[in-house]
Amino acid sequence: MGGFSPRNLKYMRKFAESWTDRKIVQEVLAQITWYHNLALLEKLKNPDLRLWYARQTVDNGWSRNVLAFRIETRLHERTGQTTNNFDLALPVDSDMANQIFKDPYVFDFLGTADLRLEAELEQKLIDHLEKFLLELGQGFAFVGRQVHMEVGKNDFYIDLLFYHLKLRCYVVVELKAGKFEAGHVSQLNMYMNIVDDLMRHPDDKKTIGLLLVKEKNKTLAKYALAGYTNPIGVAEWEKQITDSLPEDLKYSLPTIEEIEREFEIEYPGMNGEG
């Protein structure tokens, strides 16, 4: 075969060294593009993490850029980290729900302005609805914002309402621009009860609530959720991941030049030409 550059040949060798199990190559890695595979090689050292992100890419249809962003924002550390009562409120679907929701959510598209009001946060998320849905993850269908509900001659408005296609249920999202307060859970629980009563189809499963706050006290959130039978998750939202990347997420192949220097030592005379 011809037409391969020295750079691609070096990547191919790296790929072969990294994936010695042919079954994994055929069942997972063959389903994503070469550029996806290069991103995994470049950005991750840990083989288990590489495989986890490869499978997520296949399941969610991520582009190469989305995969890179997921790695850089440490999705594997955020998945399944909400403070919730899913084990008690969703005994059958708790594992699936845990893997669908994350903490924190990273809204890198919000800009640098300090968002002090829930209405400002909500508007920003709606302005970037496509990116918001991408961060929520596969399966979320947007139903509406400020969804009006009238109960006992009182008007209530849900910040954001979604339907999850895999869980087969409504998801009520309440946004808070400040710290978590126990009363937030009570408000969200009431909205969920109303949705279950007025909107839920007999074939739908229990509505799930997601409370997004700027700052969460995990211990307080656990106590606040105790006793509720509706499934509720509490998570933080951030504009960016500010912590430095751990060793597993540092580039294993920082530059092509470094690779070429390595191969020049092993194979003298190979200068990248031809």
With 0-12 CB in 10 A as exposed, 13-18 as middle and 19+ as buried, what is 216? Answer: buried
With 0-12 CB in 10 A as exposed, 13-18 as middle and 19+ as buried, what is 253? Answer: middle
Rounded mean pLDDT of 103-111? 92
At residue 3, φ and ψ (nearest 5 deg) are 90, 5
Instruction: Give the whole-angstrom CA distance, residue 249 versus residue 273.
Output: 31
Query: How confident is the model over 163-177, as pLDDT tens digits?
Result: 999 999 999 999 999
Closest CA to 158 of 167, 166, 149, 169: 149
Instruction: Give the whole-angstrom CA distance, residue 28 versus residue 31.
Output: 6
Q: Would you list the domain boundaries of the chain?
A: 6-73+254-266, 76-238
Instruction: Say if CB 147 and CB 158 are below 8 A apart.
Output: yes
pLDDT value at 264 more than 80: no
Residue range 76-238 forms a domain whose CATH class is: alpha beta
Tell which wins on pLDDT, 200 or 1.
200
Tell which wins on pLDDT, 6 or 87.
87
> Virtual CA dihedral for 168, 216, 106, 86, nearest 10 degrees?
-20
- By mean pLDDT, which of 90-94, 100-104, 158-162, 264-268 is the weakest? 264-268
Query: Which neighbouring-strand residues pair with 145?
Result: 160
pLDDT confidence tier of residue 3, bands split at 50, 70 and 90: confident
Closest CA to 164 of 209, 102, 229: 209
Instruction: Render the burial of 217-239: b for 16+ CB within 10 Å, e for the rest.
Output: beebbeebbeebebbbbbbbbbb
pLDDT value at 260 more than 70: no
pLDDT value at 162 more than 90: yes
Rounded mean pLDDT of 217-227? 95
* pLDDT for the residue 116: 77
pLDDT value at 127 more than 80: yes
Instruction: Give the whole-angstrom CA distance, residue 46 versus residue 134.
Output: 25
* pLDDT for the residue 242: 54
pLDDT value at 9 more than 60: yes
* pLDDT for the residue 265: 46
At residue 103, φ and ψ (nearest 5 deg) are -160, 125
Mean pLDDT of the chain, nearest integer: 87
* pLDDT for the residue 111: 83
* pLDDT for the residue 52: 96
Instruction: Say if CB 139 and CB 166 are below 8 A apart.
Output: yes
Rounded mean pLDDT of 216-236? 96
pLDDT value at 119 more than 50: yes
Classify the C-alpha dihedral 238-240-244-250 as positive or negative.
Answer: positive
pLDDT confidence tier of residue 251, bands split at 50, 70 and 90: very low
Tell which wins on pLDDT, 21 or 89.
89
111: alpha, beta or left? (left if phi > 0; alpha if psi -120 to 50): left
Rounded mean pLDDT of 120-145? 94
pLDDT value at 241 more than 90: no
Query: How confident is the model over 37-89, as pLDDT tens digits?
Result: 999 999 999 999 999 999 999 999 999 999 999 999 999 999 999 999 999 99
